[in-house]
Homo-oligomer: A and B are copies of this chain.
Amino acid sequence: MTGRTRRYEKRYDDLLGLFANEAAFTEIARTRGAEIAYRVDEFRPSDRAGDVIFGTSMLYPGRVGDEFIFTRGHIHAVSDRPEIYFCQSGHGVMLMELADGTIRTEEMTPNSVVYVAPHWIHRSVNVGTEPLVTLFCYPADAGQDYDIIASAGGMRDLIVDDGSGGWTRIPNPRYRPRVTGSGAA
């Protein structure tokens, strides 16, 4: 993206610990650890409220065991800030989760827009065979919190190959529900 203020890349080695099938990940990392899994270009004019950040993301296709490759995912540090994604090419799923484990998915196909409403943890998953190219924008004061996923052992569900050319959602065996709400011990 011409005019970007930042580019970052995640290699397979950077994704250690994120996929359920650790043996499959180890095998991939052994031979392809330095390969780029995704690349993000962003344009961030400032961090002030009332400003906007825009960027593009290229998530290469891949699987770790049955699980489709995904971006690390986050919730906004200012959690009532939304994010809008636009799919430019490829086939993806936006996997969204509330702190209480409620899950929502939305399919991403070329020219579709997905709204990640305030308070939703979100991650892009490439369920296709081509790079998933998305554009995103969000309020400049939103910030990112990645730990909300890591501390729960991942997101509640995994997006996996359904064995017949599509994708499906299955429970993540490593998921530890967050303690939320006023009734929590």
Q: Number of A residues whose C-beta is below 8 Å from B? A: 31
> How many copies of the chain does the oligomer comprise?
2
Pair B2/A135 contact, Cβ less than 8 Å? no
Chain B residues closer than 8 Å to A114, beta-carbon distance: 3
Of B2, B43, B139, the residue contacting A52 (CB under 8 A) is B139
Q: How far is the CB of A110 from chain B (nearest CB, A)?
A: 9
Pair A113/B45 contact, Cβ less than 8 Å? no
Give the secondary structure class of A's interface: strand
Q: Using CB atoms and an 8 Å cutoff, list the residues of chain A in contact with chain B.
A: 1-4, 43, 45, 49-52, 54, 56, 78, 80-84, 86, 88, 109, 111-115, 117, 135, 137-139
Contacts A/B (CB < 8 Å), 24 sampled? A1-B111, A2-B109, A2-B111, A2-B113, A3-B112, A3-B113, A3-B115, A43-B84, A45-B117, A50-B78, A50-B81, A50-B139, A51-B139, A52-B52, A52-B82, A52-B83, A52-B137, A52-B138, A52-B139, A54-B137, A56-B86, A84-B137, A135-B135, A139-B139
